[in-house]
Amino acid sequence: DGGITQSPKYLFRKEGQNVTLSCEQNLNHDAMYWYRQDPGQGLRLIYYSQIVNDFQKGDIAEGYSVSREKKESFPLTVTSAQKNPTAFYLCASSIDRSTGWTQYFGPGTRLLVL
Amino acid sequence: SQQGEEDPQALSIQEGENATMNCSYKTSINNLQWYRQNSGRGLVHLILIRSNEREKHSGRLRVTLDTSKKSSSLLITASRAADTASYFCATEYFQIQGAQKLVFGQGTRLTINP
């Protein structure tokens, strides 16, 4: 089965703690993305990566960090500097311009603060 | 912000009726896409319309694009209870260089009443 997996489904963070959200894809897509979604809102781009070992900040990168060491994996770390991390986090991947950068989404991780 | 705006924010109709959602954007685009999100899930791509196209169909979906008005509409005909979801438009803006990305609207919450 080809697709994008995100884990865990729910994640709890304590004050001052860094947490890492996993995103893996076996679609052989070059581009990967992380979005944040707040209740009743649209998606806001956190980070994106076109190729391995390269990534770009999105609109709300402060308090987050990423790595892209493998084509299949694009983990997101929510650092203690992110003061309001409670949200639904979505990972996506896309092929290239020929598809208009059509994105395939994972099932999401809901992050809650204890 | 380059983010598109969707209208209405919420729409409730009876099963069998048609549902129309609108999306407006601010600058020239390469393409516009529509996605669906069931509650608590990832987004699913529905349809893409390129800037040189005016109308596209996919099953019960009809999308129009008016680049002079910078707007698009999504029509779902003969609605079903399973169409209950949030619908998002996403635009790919022309960028001279750098990684491409989509900008998502705030979404329309559609409820189909049996």
E strand segments, chain B: 5-7, 10-14, 19-24, 29-37, 43-50, 55-58, 61-66, 71-76, 85-93, 102-104, 108-113
Asked if A109 and A92 count as a contact pair (C-beta separation under 8 A), the reply is no
B10-49 confidence digits (pLDDT tens): 999 999 999 999 999 988 888 999 999 999 999 999 999 9
What is the structure's pLDDT at A15? 85
Partner residues linked to B37 by β-bridges: B43, B86
B64-95 confidence digits (pLDDT tens): 999 999 999 999 999 999 999 999 999 987 66
Copy the structure tokens of residue B72: 């698009």
E strand segments, A1-114: 4-7, 10-13, 19-25, 31-37, 43-49, 56-57, 64-66, 76-78, 87-94, 103-105, 109-113
A95-106 confidence digits (pLDDT tens): 877 777 789 999
Q: Which residues in chain A are contacts of B103 at CB distance < 8 A?
A: 45
Q: Which residues in chain A are contacts of B56 at CB distance < 8 A?
A: none
- Shortest Cα distance, chain A CAs vs residue B32, angstroms: 9
Choose the closest CB to A103 out of B3, B30, B102.
Answer: B102
Choose the closest CB to A45 out of B35, B41, B101.
Answer: B101
Q: How far apart are CA B72 and CA B25, in angstroms?
A: 9
What is the structure's pLDDT at B93? 73
